[in-house]
Amino acid sequence: MTTYITTPIFYVNAQPHLGHAYSTIVADTYARFKRLSGDNVRFQTGTDEHGDKIVQAAEGAGESPQSYVDRISALFRDSWPPLEIEPDNFIRTTDHDHIKNVQAILQKVHDQGDIYFSEYEGLYCQGCERFLTEKELIEGNCPDHLKPPAKIREQNYFFKMGTYQEWLIDHINSNPDFITPARYKNEMLSFLSEPLEDLCISRPTSRLTWGIPLPFDDKFVTYVWFDALINYLTGLGYPDDEKFATYWPVAEHVIAKDILKPHAIFWPTMLKAMGLEPYKKLHVHGYWNMGEAKMSKSLGNVVGPKEMVEEFGADVVRYFLLRDMSFGLDSSFSAEAVVGRQNSDLANDLGNLFSRSLTMVGKFMDGRVPEPGEPRQIDTALAGACTAMVETYSKEMTDFRFHLALQAVWEVVGKANKYIVENAPWDMVKDEEQKRHLGTVFYYLLESLRIIALAVEPIMPSAAAKMRAGLGVDNRGDLATLAAWGRLAPGTAITKPEPLFPRMEKKKGGQQPAKKEKNPAKGKEKAPEGLITFEEFGRVELRVAEIIGAEKIKKSDRLLKLTVRAPEERVIVAGIAEHYQPEDLPGRRVIIVANLKPAKLMGVPSQGMVLAAKDGDRLVLAQVPAEVAVGSRVA
RNA sequence: GGCGAUGUAGCUCAGUUGGUUAGAGCAUACGGCUCAUAUCCGUAGUGUCCGGGGUUCAAUUCCCUGCAUCGCCA
C-alpha cells in the first residue's frame, strides 16, 4: 500500500501557532502509523509565500518580500523537528520547480479553454488595496478605513469552475469518504446546490507583482489558489518524476475548516480540468480555542509550538492534542488541561504501570523476561484485550479518530494495572503454590506493555522508544506481525529506565484558580444571592491600558472605537461618545476588563470593556496615574 | 433572512432503532494494597438528558415550537 499525506502549506504572513502544529502533528502521526502498518509513505508540508498580504507584512517588517518569506518559512520548517515531526518534503511556493510547473499547468488549462479573460466589477478599497465583498461593509464603508470603497472595473483571468460542478457533486456522492468527517461533506454539498461562480485566478501586475507570472500574459500574476493548491502536485515533481506516478492517486489532505472550500471545491475541479484524478480523501479538523476564547493575535493568546515543547515536551503535546480533540470538532486548549492529561493518563496510568512492572521483573524475575506457564483465564483475558485493542486502534487511526484510538489503548492500560492488583505478585512470591504462576503473570504483563508501546509509537515516538529499550525489543517489521501475541523472547534482559513521564505541578500564577482550599467544603460553597465569591471575582481580569487612538463610530451617538495598549494592541468599543471627545482620549490610562468575551458593536469587533463611573448623567472613566505600567493587573 | 449542527453529572463527552436503576474519563469523598512516578485497585454519589407543547400505554430518544451557542450561505 502507498500513502501520500499532506498538511496545507502555511501562509507566511504570521508565525507558526498551535493550529499549524496540530495539522502537522496529525499528518505526522498518520504517516508514522501508515509506515508502521507497512505502507510506502510520503509526508509533505511547506509554506505558501505569494500575495499582497506577504508584501504588506514584509513592508511592515522593513525587508524585501524574498528575505521576509525566507525568514518566516524557516521558522515553520524549524518548528517541526522539536515536535518530532519528520516530513519527507518541505515545499515552498517560491521554489523554482513549483513556479515552473504552476506555469505549465496554467498554460495547459488555458490552452484547452478553461481559462478566460473578462472584466470584473467590484468594490475596491484603496486603503486595504483589495476588493471587499458587500458582506464586509459596515454601513457601506470599509470596516478598517471607514470610507466607502470605490466601484472599479478590473480585467482578470477566470477559471471555468462551474463546468465541473455536476461532475463534482456526483464524485462526492459516490465517494462517501472523499470529504470527512461527514458534516463537512454535507456543508459542501449544500454549497454546491447553488450554481458555482467561476474563480478569479489573476491579479494585474499594476497591483501585485509578488506572484507567479501568468505564462500567457505577463501583465498578470497568479492569484492564491491556483498557485497554492498545486503544491500538492509540484511537491511530487509533477509531471515527470516517478514520485508523481507513485503517490498522486492516493493523496490525503489534512486541513483546518477555514480552507475547506478551496480544498473541497476549487481543488477537485482544478484537477479535473488538468485531466488528473482527484485526491483520495480530505480530512477536515476544527479549531483550538484558548480556554473560552478564540485564538487571535489581538487577544495576545496565541500559543506557539516552540513554547509548548519547551513547557511540556513533544510526547505530551502530541498526546494531548490528539487525545483531547475529536477530529473535526473544535476543542479548547489550556495548560491546566495538558497538565491534567500528563499527570493522570501519562504519568499515573501508563508511566507508573511501566515503572512498577519493570521494577517487579527486576526484583522477582531476576531482570529477565520469564518463561510463561500454562495461562489461566485471567491471563488469556489480558492477551485477548490486547489483540482486540490493536484491531480497534488500527481502525480508528485509519479513520482519523485519534481520540478513540487512544481511548482503546488506555483501556488496556487500565486492565493491565488491574491485572497486577488482582494477581498481587508481591503476595504470590510468598506462597509456594502461587509462585509457579509468577512467570506467566510477568510474561503477560510485559507482552501487554510491548503491544501498548507499539500502539503508542506513532503518537509518542520518544516514549515508545524508551519503552522498547526497557523491554529489550525493536520495532522492525509491520504492525500485524509485531502485534502478534508472544513475540517477546523469554530470557531477554529488562532494564528499567527513568520515568517515562514526569508528574507536573498544576501550575502558573495569575490565572490559576487558587490551589486547594484548606477547608475543602468552603471551595464548593455557593455565595449567597447577590454576592459573588472571591474565586468568581478572580475570573475577571482587570488591567491597566493606555488609550492610543479614538474615533467616532459612524451612525452611533454613543460609541467610540478606542485603540488601546494593554500592553498588546486591541480595539475596544466604548459607549462614551457623549461624554468624551475622541481627541482628548489618547494618552489616558484606564482600567479595562481584559478577558471579556469579544463582541461586535455596530459592526466593530470589541475586545474588552473600559471601566467608567456613572454619576447621574455624567460618565467618568476610571483612570490611573501615568506611572502605572500598561498591562498591570488590577485586583 | 435561508439552511444545518449542537445543547446529557462540577468539567470533557458517550449513549438511547421510544420501554424497568441514563453511562465513561477527570475532579470530589471514603475504603483496600504497598510492586510502583504519594502511584494503583475498589466503593460512593449527585443529573427537571436546554424550556414549552404534541403523538404514545410509555419520550431524554419521534414531531412542532421557543431559547442559547456555533457553522455554512445570502
What is the three-state SS of A320-362?
HHHHHCCCCCCEEECHHHHHHHHHHHHHHHHHHHHHHHHHHHH
Cite the residue boundaries of each domain of chain A with CATH code 2.40.50.140: 534-621
Task: Measure CA to C1' and name the residue nearest B3.
Answer: A190
In the 127-186 stretch of chain A, whose C-beta falls under 7 Å of nucleic acid strand B?
A: 135, 183, 186
Q: Is the CB of A500 under 7 A from strand B?
A: yes
Please give the pLDDT value at position A158: 93
A337 CA vs B12 C1’ separation (Å): 10
Q: How far apart are CA A545 and CA A590, in angstroms?
A: 5
- The residue behind cell 476549487 is A266
The second-level CATH assignment, the architecture, of A534-621 is Beta Barrel (2.40)
What number does CATH give the domain A2-331? 3.40.50.620
Predicted TM-score of the model (pTM) = 0.80
Cite the residue boundaries of each domain of chain A with CATH code 3.40.50.620: 2-331
Pull the grid cell for residue A439. Answer: 512467570
Q: How far apart are CA A533 and CA A542, in angstroms?
A: 17
In the 238-267 stretch of chain A, whose C-beta falls under 7 Å of nucleic acid strand B?
A: 257-258, 261
- CA of A326: nearest nucleotide by C1' is B13
| β partners of residue A47 | A10, A92
Q: Is the CB of A352 under 7 A from strand B?
A: yes
Q: How far apart are CA A171 and CA A268, in angstroms?
A: 10
Please give the pLDDT value at position A344: 93
Does residue A264 contact residue A179 with C-beta atoms inside 8 Å? yes
Cα A391 to chain center, whole Å?
27
- CA of A286: nearest nucleotide by C1' is B71
The candidate with the shortest Cα–Cα distance to A237, out of A223, A250, A248, is: A248
Does residue A305 contact residue A83 with C-beta atoms inside 8 Å? yes
Cite the residue boundaries of each domain of chain A with CATH code 1.10.730.10: 334-482
Q: How far apart are CA A234 and CA A212, in angstroms?
A: 14
State the catalytic residues of A: 17, 20, 125, 128, 142, 145, 294, 297
Please give the pLDDT value at position A588: 86
Residue A238: other Cβ atoms inside 10 A: 22
Does residue A295 contact residue A19 with C-beta atoms inside 8 Å? yes
Q: Is the CB of A124 under 7 A from strand B?
A: no
To which CATH superfamily is domain A334-482 assigned?
Answer: Isoleucyl-tRNA Synthetase; Domain 1 (1.10.730.10)
Q: How far apart are CA A594 and CA A230, in angstroms?
A: 42
Q: How far apart are CA A138 and CA A391, in angstroms?
A: 55
Q: How far apart are CA A379 and CA A34, in angstroms?
A: 30
Q: Is the CB of A331 under 7 A from strand B?
A: yes
- CA of A260: nearest nucleotide by C1' is B72
3-state secondary structure A21-43: HHHHHHHHHHHHHHHHCCCEEEE
Please give the pLDDT value at position A252: 96
Q: Is the CB of A291 under 7 A from strand B?
A: no
Pull the grid cell for residue A431. Answer: 506462597
Sequence-distant (6+) residues with CB within 8 A of A334 are A290, A291
Radius of gyration of chain A (CA): 29
Pull the grid cell for residue A547. Answer: 488609550
Residues of chain A falling short of pLDDT 70 = 127-130, 133-139, 142-146, 291-301, 506-540, 553-557, 595-605, 614-617, 633, 635
- CA of A403: nearest nucleotide by C1' is B13
Does residue A228 contact residue A93 with C-beta atoms inside 8 Å? yes
Q: Could you give the ipTM of this predicted complex?
A: 0.90
Chain B nucleotides reached by a protein CB under 7 Å: 3-5, 12-14, 25-29, 32-37, 39-42, 70-74
Q: Dihedral of CA A19/A70/A45/A40: which sign? A: negative
**Cis peptide preceding A567, ω within 30 of 0:** yes
A179 CA vs B3 C1’ separation (Å): 19
Q: Is the CB of A347 under 7 A from strand B?
A: yes
Pull the grid cell for residue A187. Answer: 456543508
Q: Dihedral of CA A123/A124/A125/A126: which sign? A: negative
DSSP, res A61:
T
DSSP, res A262:
I
